[in-house]
Structure 1
Amino acid sequence: MTTKKRPVRIAGCSGAATDRRHAMAMLAANCANDHIDVITGDWMSEANMTSRATLKLAEGGDAYEPTFIESLEPALKYIAKYGIRIAVNAGASDTKRLHEVVTGMVKQQGLSLKVAWISGDEVLPAVKKAQRGRESSFENICTGEVLEDWKFKPIAAQAYLGGLGIAAAFERGADIVVCGRVSDASPVIGAAYWWHGWKRDQLLELANAFVAGHLIECSNYVAGGNFTGFKSLEMRGWDDIGYPIAEISSNGQAVITKSRGSGGEVSTQTCSSQLLYEIQGPWYYNSDVTAILDELWFEQLGTDRVALRGVKADLPPPTTKIGLTAAGGYQAEVHWFPCGLDIEAKTRMLETQVRKLLAPYSDKFTKLTFTTIGTAAENACNQDAATVDFRIFAQAPTAADLAPSKFLRPCIDPIMESYPGATPHLDLRLGFPKPIQEYYVTLLPQADVQHAVHLWDGSGIDISPPPKTKTFPAQQPSKASTRSTTSQSLGETTLGPLGWVVHARSGDKGSNCNVGFWVRHKDEYDWLRSLLSVDTVKHLLADEYKKGNKIDRFELPNMYAVHFLLHDHLDRGVSCSSSYDFLGKNVAEYLRSKHVDLPVKFLSRGKL
């Protein structure tokens, strides 16, 4: 490998299968004015990992993520023109087929780009072999359940691979590398490793690239998307928020910026927002390295330029995370729209009527919930403001258990006997059974993963597991509370929403939900960490707290942040959740809306 002197510029063009499709072509076409060396993108989530695995088993069509093709096709001519490298996480359950499709597209456009693909993420045979040999109980890292007790039969298992396969493909001359399930940050790790000619024992460099990869993996998030300071972005252009670029030096130092002329911003605050998203504690694991986050901080270097500081490094763990998919049954739902006065009594009446009609069939249901979404405003200025959504939701093992005669019809049949104004949603498609997938998160030894690179000429490269690893305690460091010596001298307080002063960010990892809180000013931090104990968060969650569930807490003092991990808070994860907030993103917004005693001196600086 040849070490290159200047930093590598790596852009993140996608954070999900539903991200805007234009970014890759936009970044590539503008390369002469805003240089990019590598474009990375993530099209994978637990939702399409499970659905594509199910599709593959049913032989229902190509099981890669098709929205990636929509992004790549218009970008190919610019990728070839400017010599840009591409590394993406889009193969889902059929990376080989995706490689064939991309190769065909390249030939169709008359280009000479070399396309490689990564295998090794599909590990169901390794899991079954380890089960037969009693080598592991495969404990669920979210719930503590063991795989033998899981009531579903796995149909697929995917490991989260590191970035060294991508690096090896680039070193052999690949222009495009398509992956199935590498970790979200692995394309950035692989690109930086290749560019700078790093070695496996350069842990600090790898850790910095890992965290930089986490910052840009979700495209617009680090440039102002999903940011609790979003109101300040309106004058900066929030109609087209920009895509991030990580500039990573040979020593691992990273600067985060964004595409020129785009909306949004890159600031210490937007970087804090993205950093706190999806982490599980101060130890942040990847197959190639462990990043230690407890002393991390950000430095604003200039407009839309933020430096990553304080990252520490340790050896990677001997295991990697894997996700198992199983057919989970079926679900259906019906919506009614009570309006005006007596909402509680109206919904109670309807629920009583529906339950009676469902009684002959509901013993087959695995879940049946009745939920009022929203609050009807008093003396509302329009009818919509006085209306709520009453949701009836059910899951069952088979489609027959949720046949229209057994769910949909009993849910809408009370229309003539029910509350005043009784009106169901007339689009009844949600009331028909649709398949769902269960998802189980556990660990597999990296030595059991057959990580490999497949080149355009039919040759391959095996990627060995890390030669040195470290076994970390299963429990991340956690401190339930902190006593502050300054919180008693903050002066007058007033009752108001936490979010007037405090930023927050939350998200899902399986059935776990993480929530990070941070403040803008140093003198606000002692108040924040004193206020937000585990017990306080339980109190603020109120009815949302699932009694007995563990909550971990750790502090990031250089970021003025406190982070919480709510174990098993979500209903089994995005692929089968019964919750409206199936990604856990609104847990932070709910908690920011809760009232606490706020120091008046902080409010004088302006509400968020």
Structure 2
Amino acid sequence: MAAGKHPGWEQTAWDGIEQSIDIINEKRIKIIINGGAHNPKGLAEKTAELVRFKGYDLKVAYVSGDNLLPVANDLLKEGALPHLDADNSAVKLAKNTLSFLDDKYKPIVSANAYLGAREIAQGLEAGADIIIAGRVADASPVIGAAWYWHSWSETDFDRLAGALVAGHLIECSAYVTGSNFAGFYELPKEELYDLVFGIAEVEKDGSCVITKHEKGRGFVTVDTVKCQFLYELQGNIYLNSDVKAILDGVQMEQVGKDRVKVWGIVGAPPPPTTKLAIFYRGGYQSELLLNATGYATKEKWDLYEETIKFGLKKRGVLDKFDILEFQRVGVPQYNPRSQLSSTTYLRIFAEASTPVPNGQLLQTMQEFAMQHFSGFHSTMDMRTAFPIPFLSFYPAIIPQSSLNCSVTILPSISNKVPLSIQTTAPQKTEPLAKRETYDPVSPTALSNFGPTKQVKIGDVTLARSGDKGGNANVGFFVRVDRTGIQSWEWLRSFLTVSRMRELLGDDWRDEYFIERVEFPKIHAVHFVVYGILGRGVSGSARLDGLGKGIADYLRDKVVDVPVKFLEKVESHL
């Protein structure tokens, strides 16, 4: 976009509007979409052009005020943009998190504040039919629609909080209708693709029913809704610019085919701040995948790692990397039936401020190309071995009162003059409190649950994980309809903070920090692991930079599970 080679909005947002504009006009459907990305005004003007071409009397609006790129550098220099986790003394920020502050090679390229729903609600109240937003929080379009429809006030916190959770449940495409579902293996494969998206029916009291269109593929069950509820949570308090949702009492019930009711959310005033997503040029990345087959795999990788480090040290660049990791991916199958089942990867991942160290890494590999272990081989595609520029993420917080936000309705057939409505920050806020974390209160001794058997914890639990910047969240729950209510008492007693560290195994590092809370009415234990994703997603050295696989990794762990729960599971199946 900066180079004039991209319009700045999501192409699929335009595709959706263009393909559905006729039915939008016919049925007078209100549309709110955050696909405006970095240029919501541009997409709104293009949409208004389409509306005029069709001869429709639809009012198109856009939300502005999230883009703080012009002032971000000055605010950072003034120390006005602390890191999102800066107030938590137990959290150690990942290496190089703050390196861009004084590194000329790491300029900021975007800075967008997470806006709430007030601009959307006011735009709808002023008559807008289509509202294009950029960086609003994922749930804000749903909150804004419900706020407008039910004529809530900005202090109807319980209701706004319910709408926040409704938005969270349907914000991720088909995640609530079967995609990314932990129990997918129990279902026919043909039910797990070409899925329709979720629908949230938000009631006046803030409760909701999650459902889907009856003619599309997919399914909505308490389990799919629980999985999505536990995805990318911050703990038991879910923050938004308009409201804090207190999640401890959340409840869910299947009330019909593909219909799950969700209630029990309590609201509170929002924080005076909101998140500011800053992206900067993080430097250069290289990623190389090499193969080893069969016998003495560990010794092969030991030798190769030592060889490459020797070469880098000889070239004087071994200590010039921000990140240099030799990650061993997979374990050869015992007594393999094919060469592929005997083959594992070495993933060399490197980041540096300039392309020089990464280039030296590739040259070192070439220098020793014919000095390798027996059976060495790799893909012929080496594109990722060359230094590639990447963007990295810095999550800051900024006072909502410092934002200058508005919603602008463009001229239409019935209104020839544009209307711009300036919005104000929330009038009632509460300071951010330290996040709650606790081990189980009055746990039951594990021996009280009777004889155990060593099985995978995934045999009796479902789970979901995801990223929160450089942190990962993981939520586990038991299906008490299959295992009995006592399984919940076992899960909460079993899954302590120390147990979570143990389950993470070699992925645990002492600089990480864990928070733990419980959601007793949906039989779930939730963790946030601070720092495990490094600087987050695009800057993360992890193969799973989004943290989506962490839950499935942990469900594969073998633990002592009471036999009586396993018997109930087997009888259910």
Report the TM-score when normalising by structure 2: 0.91
Structure-to-structure mapping, 1:89-128, within 5 angstroms = 89-108=34-53, 111-125=56-70, 127-128=72-73
Q: Write the distance in 2 (CA, Å) between the matches of 1:224 and 1:265.
A: 6
State yes or no: 1:383 paired with 2:346. no
Q: Write the distance in 2 (CA, Å) between the matches of 1:251 and 1:295.
A: 15
Structure-to-structure mapping, 1:323-472, within 5 angstroms = 323-359=277-313, 360=315, 361-403=317-359, 406-457=360-411, 458-472=418-432
State yes or no: 1:579 paired with 2:542. yes
Q: 1:27 matched to which residue of 2?
A: none
Deviation of the 1:295 alpha carbon: 0.7
Q: 2:520 matched to which residue of 1?
A: 557
Confirm or deny: 8 A CA contact 2:92 2:511 kept in the other structure: no
Q: 1:22 matched to which residue of 2?
A: none
Deviation of the 1:214 alpha carbon: 0.5
Structure-to-structure mapping, 1:242-321, within 5 angstroms = 242-321=196-275
Q: Partner of 2:293: helix, strand, or coil?
A: coil
Letter in 2 for 1:141: D
Q: Write the distance in 2 (CA, Å) between the matches of 1:261 and 1:228.
A: 24
Letter in 2 for 1:138: P
Deviation of the 1:101 alpha carbon: 3.0
Confirm or deny: 8 A CA contact 2:100 2:282 kept in the other structure: no
State yes or no: 1:606 paired with 2:569. yes
Structure-to-structure mapping, 1:527-542, within 5 angstroms = 527-542=490-505
Q: Write the distance in 2 (CA, Å) between the matches of 1:369 and 1:129.
A: 34
Q: Spell out, residue by residue over 1:511-537, the C-alpha distance to the aligned partner (whole angstroms, 9 max, x if none).
A: 011111110112211100111100000
Q: 1:21 matched to which residue of 2?
A: none
1:75 to 20, 40, 57: 20
Deviation of the 1:461 alpha carbon: 0.6
Q: Spell out, residue by residue over 1:102-140, the C-alpha distance to the aligned partner (whole angstroms, 9 max, x if none).
A: 333444555443321101111245555555666x46134
Confirm or deny: 8 A CA contact 1:336 1:425 kept in the other structure: yes
Q: Partner of 1:382: helix, strand, or coil?
A: coil
Q: 2:191 matched to which residue of 1?
A: 237
1:199 to 138, 143, 153: 153
Q: 1:144 to 1:63 in 2, by over 3 A?
A: farther
Deviation of the 1:249 alpha carbon: 1.7
Q: 1:144 to 1:118 in 2, by over 3 A?
A: farther
Q: Write the distance in 2 (CA, Å) between the matches of 1:59 and 1:173.
A: 33
Deviation of the 1:160 alpha carbon: 0.6
Q: 1:144 to 1:423 in 2, by over 3 A?
A: closer
Q: 2:489 matched to which residue of 1?
A: 526
Q: Spell out, residue by residue over 1:331-360, the C-alpha distance to the aligned partner (whole angstroms, 9 max, x if none).
A: 111111111121111112222232333331
Deviation of the 1:384 alpha carbon: 1.6
Deviation of the 1:419 alpha carbon: 1.6
Confirm or deny: 8 A CA contact 1:339 1:386 kept in the other structure: yes
Q: Partner of 1:219: helix, strand, or coil?
A: coil
Q: 1:221 matched to which residue of 2?
A: 175
Q: Partner of 2:13: helix, strand, or coil?
A: helix
Confirm or deny: 8 A CA contact 2:466 2:474 kept in the other structure: yes
Confirm or deny: 8 A CA contact 2:210 2:259 kept in the other structure: yes
Letter in 2 for 1:332: S
Structure-to-structure mapping, 1:509-520, within 5 angstroms = 509-520=468-479
State yes or no: 1:504 paired with 2:463. yes
Where does structure 1 lack aligned partners over 5 or more consecutive residues? 1-54
Q: Write the distance in 1 (CA, Å) between the matches of 2:170 and 2:100.
A: 38
Deviation of the 1:298 alpha carbon: 0.3
Where does structure 2 lack aligned partners over 5 or more consecutive residues? 412-417
Q: Write the distance in 2 (CA, Å) between the matches of 1:271 and 1:88.
A: 22
Deviation of the 1:156 alpha carbon: 2.6
Q: Spell out, residue by residue over 1:271-320, the C-alpha distance to the aligned partner (whole angstroms, 9 max, x if none).
A: 11111111111111111111110011101101111111211111111111
Confirm or deny: 8 A CA contact 1:126 1:448 kept in the other structure: no
Q: Partner of 1:308: helix, strand, or coil?
A: strand
- State the identity %: 38
Q: Partner of 2:165: helix, strand, or coil?
A: helix
Letter in 2 for 1:390: L
Confirm or deny: 8 A CA contact 2:533 2:541 kept in the other structure: no
Letter in 1 for 2:489: D
State yes or no: 1:184 paired with 2:138. yes
Q: 1:543 to 1:189 in 2, by over 3 A?
A: same
Confirm or deny: 8 A CA contact 1:453 1:460 kept in the other structure: yes
Confirm or deny: 8 A CA contact 1:233 1:265 kept in the other structure: no
Q: Spell out, residue by residue over 1:84-113, the C-alpha distance to the aligned partner (whole angstroms, 9 max, x if none).
A: 221111222222222233333444555443
Q: 1:407 to 1:289 in 2, by over 3 A?
A: same
Q: Write the distance in 1 (CA, Å) between the matches of 2:46 and 2:536.
A: 31
Q: RMSD across aligned C-alpha pairs, in angstroms? A: 2.2
Q: Spell out, residue by residue over 1:447-494, the C-alpha distance to the aligned partner (whole angstroms, 9 max, x if none).
A: 011111011123211111111111131x21110344423643322101
Q: Spell out, residue by residue over 1:521-559, the C-alpha distance to the aligned partner (whole angstroms, 9 max, x if none).
A: 122111001111000000111111121321111111101
Confirm or deny: 8 A CA contact 2:192 2:218 kept in the other structure: yes
Q: Write the distance in 2 (CA, Å) between the matches of 1:601 and 1:301.
A: 29
Confirm or deny: 8 A CA contact 1:415 1:422 kept in the other structure: no
Q: 1:168 matched to which residue of 2?
A: 122
Deviation of the 1:225 alpha carbon: 1.2
Deviation of the 1:235 alpha carbon: 6.5
Q: 1:479 matched to which residue of 2?
A: 438
Q: Write the distance in 1 (CA, Å) between the matches of 2:57 and 2:306.
A: 67
Q: Partner of 2:292: helix, strand, or coil?
A: coil
Q: 1:459 to 1:581 in 2, by over 3 A?
A: same
Letter in 1 for 2:380: L
Q: 1:35 matched to which residue of 2?
A: none
Q: Write the distance in 1 (CA, Å) between the matches of 2:449 and 2:137.
A: 44
Q: Spell out, residue by residue over 1:412-452, the C-alpha distance to the aligned partner (whole angstroms, 9 max, x if none).
A: 45342212221121111111221111211121111011111
Letter in 1 for 2:259: R
Q: 2:414 matched to which residue of 1?
A: none
Confirm or deny: 8 A CA contact 1:276 1:516 kept in the other structure: yes
Deviation of the 1:148 alpha carbon: 9.3
Q: 1:490 matched to which residue of 2?
A: 449
Paired residues, number: 549
Q: Write the distance in 2 (CA, Å) between the matches of 1:392 and 1:562.
A: 35
Confirm or deny: 8 A CA contact 1:215 1:222 kept in the other structure: yes
Q: Partner of 1:261: helix, strand, or coil?
A: coil
Q: Write the distance in 2 (CA, Å) between the matches of 1:516 and 1:157.
A: 30
Letter in 2 for 1:83: R
Q: 1:409 to 1:133 in 2, by over 3 A?
A: closer
Q: 2:554 matched to which residue of 1?
A: 591
Deviation of the 1:498 alpha carbon: 0.9
Report the TM-score when normalising by structure 1: 0.86
Q: Partner of 2:188: helix, strand, or coil?
A: helix
Letter in 2 for 1:485: T
Q: Write the distance in 2 (CA, Å) between the matches of 1:378 and 1:520.
A: 34
Q: Write the distance in 1 (CA, Å) between the matches of 2:392 and 2:462.
A: 33
Q: 1:537 to 1:509 in 2, by over 3 A?
A: same
Q: Partner of 1:227: helix, strand, or coil?
A: coil
Q: Partner of 1:390: helix, strand, or coil?
A: strand
Q: Write the distance in 2 (CA, Å) between the matches of 1:463 and 1:541.
A: 46
